[in-house]
Amino acid sequence: MAIQRTLCIIKPDAVEKGKVGAILQRVQEEGFRLRALRQVHLSRRQAEGFYAVHRGRPFFEDLCEFMSRGPVVTAALEREEAVQRWREVIGATDPAKADSGTIRKLYGANVGENAVHGSDSEANGRLECAYFFAEMDLA
């Protein structure tokens, strides 16, 4: 089993609902190490940059509007098989389809406002952590 990094973003809806503490507690209970942590209010352009792979999708404009409407909390998480494990903890993209006990089932409102982000591959885990954190922060 390989040690991996994945990016967690606590999205604006979950920050607005006061769920930052509960989600970070869950991160630690699930055995992830917090390698770096920060709060940031993304500009529209920064949100578009992060989600560039989705440009052109019907939900892209709404997604970038949502992700830049208030602060997010980003965390670089590390543990064995971090990418797949974090995806399991957060649940399906649509909270209505997410397994019970997952973060999106607990705190997500709908397929757009779904409380948290998780990277989808080991390569993207490294790239997304580097989008938000300097190498010095992650060392």
Confirm or reject binding of residue 120 to ligand ADP (CB under 6 A): yes
Q: Does 120 bind Mg ion (CB under 5 A)?
A: yes
State both tokens at 117: 């982000």
Which residue has the CB atom at the shortest distance from Mg ion?
Answer: 120
Q: Is 102 in the site for ligand ADP (CB under 6 A)?
A: no
Selected range binding ligand ADP among 26-34, 42-50, 109-117, 123-131, rule: CB under 6 A: 109-117
Closer residue to Mg ion (CB): 120 or 137: 120
> Is 33 within 8 Å of 3 (Cβ atoms)?
no
* DSSP per-residue letters across 89-124: HH--SSGGGSPTTSHHHHH--SSSS-SEEE-SSHHH
117 contributes a contact to ligand ADP by CB under 6 A:
yes
Residue 117 bears catalytic tag: yes
DSSP 57: S
Q: How far is the CB of 139 from ligand ADP (least distance, A)?
A: 27
- Our measurement of the distance from residue 120's CA atom to the centroid of its chain's CA atoms, rounded to an integer in Å, reads 10
CB-based burial label for 53 (10 Å; 0-12, 13-18, 19+) = exposed
Site of interaction with ligand ADP (CB under 6 A):
54, 59, 63, 93, 111-112, 114, 117, 120
Catalytic residues: 117
Site of interaction with Mg ion (CB under 5 A):
120
